[in-house]
Structures are given as C-alpha cells and as structure tokens.
Amino acid sequence: MAENLKDKEDTRTLGEETEEEDESEDWEDWAEEEGDGEDEETEFLCLFCDSKYGTCDALFEHCRSTHQFDFQAIRKEFGLDFYGSFKLINYVRSQVAENRCWSCGVTCLSNQELLNHLHQAVDIKDVKLPWDDDKYLTPFMQEDSLLYSFGEDEEGEDDYKTSFDKEEVLRDLKDFGYFSLNEETIGEEIAVSTDISDENRMEEAVLLSNDHLNEANSSEKMINNGTDCDGNLKDKHSRIDLANLVGKQIKKVNEDYFGSYSSFGIHREMIGDKVRTDAYRQALLKNPSLLNGAVVMDVGCGTGILSLFAVQAGASRVIAVEASEKMAAVATQIAKDNGLWCGKIDTKSNKNYTGGVEVVQSMVEELDKFIQIQPQSIDIIVSEWMGYCLLYESMLSSVLFARDQWLKPGGAILPDTATIFAAGFGKGSTSLPFWENVYGLNMSCIGKEVVEDASKIPIVDVVDECNLVTNAATVQTFDLATMKPDEVDFTARVELEPKLDGLSSISNEKENKPTLCYGIVLWFDTGFTSRFCKEMPVVLSTSPYTPRTHWSQTILTFREPIAIALGNFSAEKSSTIGTVSCPASKIQLRISIARATQHRSIDISLEAAGVLPDGRKHSWPVQIFNLS
C-alpha cells in the first residue's frame, strides 16, 4: 500500500514538473517572439481615434489634450494597480466601439459625435468605476500592445506608489484564461463582441448598462467566458476576483435598504400619503371582475395593506413577499389581527372574504427557496415599487422578475404603466429669492453658491406649478406588462418650450420678455389602465399640477440659467444663445437614466441646448447627477 502511494506521488510530481516546463516554454516562446520583433517600431493605437504613437507617453498625452482622458490622473485618483489599469483600457475601448462615452455612459450616433462629446468631460471625482468587472481582464482588441506596455513609462517614479511585477501579473492573467495567446480564439471573442456592438447601434436610445450582478445570481464562483472557474485558486489570484466583493457589497446595500423599511415612520409616511394609498385602494376594490377569485402576489408588501385590500376585493389567495424580517412579522400580525391571515380566516367578522394573506419573508429573487409556486400561476402582481424620480431604489427589476417567473399569460400587473415627465422651472423654485432679501439685507452671494452646489446633486422637493416656466414633456413611458428588464436604463430626447401661462393670446410685450429657466423638474405618473382595471381605471400622479405626494419631484439644476422667450426675439447675432440678450425659443434636452454602479442608486446625465427660431443653437456641457 505504502509503495503504491509513493508511486502515485512520484507520478504526480513528474507530471507537475512536465506541466510547469511546458507552461514555462510557452511563455518563453512568447517572450522570444517579442524579442524577435524588437527591431520593429511598436505603435500604440489611440483609445478614441485612429491616431497611432510610438510611445505610451505620447499616446496618453494625446488622449489627455485631445480627448479629455487623463489616464495617469485617473490611475492616481482611484489608486489603480496593474489589474485596474488593464481593465480600464479594455473598458474604454469597448465603450468607444459602441460610440459610448466612457465616463457618463451617453451613447452617440457616430464616432465623430462621440469625439465632440468627449470635450465635455465630467470631473474625475464624479466618475464611478464601471470598469471594475472581471470581464474587462479579457483584451478587447487583438494584439493591443498598450496592455503590456502602459506600466513601463512610470516605473521607478516615486510619486506613483502602485508597483507590480508585470511578468507575474501577465502570467496570472494567462492562468485565469483572461489573456488568451490563441489568436483564433481572440478573434472569435472580438467577433462576438462586434456583433453585440452592431446590434446596440441599431437602438438610438441606449445608455451605459452597468452589467449589474442580479441578487439571485450572486455566485461564489467567478464566471469566465461561460466557464466556471474553480474556487480553489491561489491567494494571489483571488485578489482579482471582484465578483465576490461586488456580491458582498450588493448584499450589504440590500440589508441596509430593507433595514430602512423596518422603521414605522417611513410606513406611516407612505400610508398617510392619501394620493398614493387611495389610488391603490380604488384600483383593487373598485375592479371586482379583476380581483374576484384571483391569486395575487404583493411584491414588497411592507405592512401588508395592499394585500389586505386584495383580500377585501375578493382574492382567493394573496402571497405577500417582504424582504425585511421585522416587517414580514408585522405584516403577519396585522393580517391575524384583522382576521385575514391565511392560517385562520375569521369567518364571523369577515364572512364575505374567502381568501387570506400568506406572508413570506424573502427577496422576490430568492422566493423559491422558501415557498413553491408553480410557474405562470399568479393572476395579478401588485406592487408599490416606485422611488424618487420613479426609478430610484431599482425595485422595478424585482417586479419584472416576479412577472417573468410567475405571472400567467395575460395576467395583470398593477400598476401597468409608468411615465416620466419633465418641465423647466424658474427662479421661484430656487433659494435665490430668500437670500436676496433677508430682513432687508442682500445675501444673494449665498444664494448663488447654493444654486451652484445644486447643479451637482439632484434635489427632491416640491415644486409649485406657478414656478414652471416651460410646457411639460414626456421623457419615457414604460409598459410593465411587456417591457424587458434592461429597458429600465434609457436615453431620451425632449424639447421644452416657454409656457403660455394658460392664456389663449398674449401681447407682444409679454411674448418678447425673456424668462430664466434654472433647470428641469422630473416627476412621474403610474397608471392602472383599463387594460386590467376595466370598471375603474386609476392614475397615480406626482405632478406639480396635482396634490403633493411623499415622492415630491426631482430637481436637476443647470450650471447656469438659460433664457427663453416666446416668438421671435430681436437679438444681436453676436450674443450668446440662451442669454437675456438672445433668449432661446426652446430648450432641447438629452436625458439618460441608468442604474448606477452603487446598487439601488441611479445616475442621470443631462445635456441641454438652447435653440433659436432660425435653428441656431448653443449647447452646454453634460451634467451628471447621482441619486443615492
């Protein structure tokens, strides 16, 4: 027995040595090939255009001065090591291939439009880390000499602290399968990537989609090119396995998010929002043909109030899903206290109700771990999933997940539509009027600074309709019954024109008086349409023109106000469009909203242009807002 074990060990040792020798020879061959070509001048292709340079320094200086991309500054700002820098280069190349801005995610119609757009780069500190994904360890471009040369220029510099053994790192990448030496394989990968890019170009309204890890699919293993990599990797390799780290971050954000809903204060605010609660109550109780005998799923039930409405409306069974452990227990107790718990229906006090509420403590993405529900067995999905600016909190994805898993073909989803609107607001919705006269004292210098700060972050507040200075325009409409999950991220173009203030006719004097538009306000409506609510369709609106709700509105402030006026305005041609001396007749907006790298947050990019009646226009730099 001992001899057999020794033989096996000898065999294994010999095999390992042979394997190591073969691997070493492979890498030596590659090094020799590199050595053979030393006499040939290496050319480095620009990340954004077709320009080529003989050194990395020259290339990066070109990118900095021409394309507003300072590679070395970004590395220092984020402390990127070799792996991070390697992924950054591949990420930028992949975005440029799709005519997409590397920093804000806006998709352009052509490479030339992208190059023009890059002049308006955002502050580095505002940039997230969308390249922090292991898929960018795979070279995007075949024979990209920049990937194994960019670290040479600053080697030995004291001011840059990141150090690495390039040969060891490249060996690690090879071991992982990220760096393939097989040109045919690389070609196939790039061909697949190109197909995807071409398909994306067909859609104009496409924004950077940050390849989020789905909560239900957070894996303990890293996936590379469709193949599971074993978890028993060397410690040095595990340093670049960001998938687990991202999964942990998502879990932490989810815990904090659902934990915040354990506070009764937030539930009182939501239930006390009469506009919100009455809309759901009417949609459920006033449409008996929809609810009678139906099986209902309530996604994110909270106190369970919508589930109880559903039972009162005649539902035969209500599955109330709640991720917060505390609120799941509270919802169960409330159902019991009202005699509507599925375990024991109080037939004396609720003789007209045949169904009951079954509360399941779980994220909807993990629901099948706690309860068995047959696919396509739910008649109605109801959820109050909306956040600020509609999409904050990213709960819509969970509702769509439940729809795709369990809703019957033709089943109802309540609400079934959602629409985002935009309008321009004037000085009255800023803090300027307050600071201009503080007990007779002029403190407008504070007001100007406050407005400047407001141009960097979105503000959730109530806007009075009298302070709107443009018409309202539809930004995006979602059909929850048919939309795809990735359509949550979008880009839209809208035009805003000066408001007529409800007057059928106005004098020339008033028509030609410029008004300053300080930014845009966003709000949303959700519809319980006649598609499902045949007896009583309902609209839940968060508009400035309707009673206020706890969602208020979302305010995005321009860096500088844009002057607008109705009709033709006599202006000097030398004046800048959008100023009081040359007001625009309309404002063109390009708005992009996407799920941010930080889980459950959203990024909003805003581009504005003032347009004159003769078509001349002036554009302002893109602004990036993060709602978190």
Catalytic residues: 384, 393
Q: How far is CA 58 from the centre of its chain?
A: 35
* CB contact set of 10 (below 8 Å; sequence gap of 6+): none
Kindly state the DSSP code that residue 33 receives in the 8-state scheme.
Answer: H
What residues are paired with 527 via a beta bridge? Answer: 417, 539
Give the Cα separation of 5 and 201 in Å (integer). 60
Q: Angle formed by the axes of helices 56-67 and 71-78, to 10°?
A: 90
Which residue in this structure is represented by tokens 């169904």? 355
Question: Nearest Cα to 618, choosing from 628, 608, 626, 627?
Answer: 608
* Residues present in the chain in total: 628
Give the Cα separation of 34 and 31 in Å (integer). 5
* CB contact set of 333 (below 8 Å; sequence gap of 6+): none
Q: Which amino acid is at 342?
A: C
Give the Cα separation of 587 and 563 in Å (integer). 9
Contact status, residue 317 vs residue 355, Cβ threshold 8 Å: yes
Contact status, residue 45 vs residue 146, Cβ threshold 8 Å: yes
Name the burial class of residue 308, with classes exposed (0-12), middle (13-18) and buried (19+) by CB atoms within 10 angstroms of its CB. buried
Give the Cα separation of 195 and 375 in Å (integer). 33
Strands (E), 153-231: 222-224, 227-229
Contact status, residue 214 vs residue 485, Cβ threshold 8 Å: no
**298 CB neighbour count, 10 Å cutoff:** 29
Contact status, residue 389 vs residue 597, Cβ threshold 8 Å: no
What residues are paired with 555 via a beta bridge? Answer: 459, 521
What residues are paired with 519 via a beta bridge? Answer: 425, 557
Give the Cα separation of 613 and 582 in Å (integer). 11
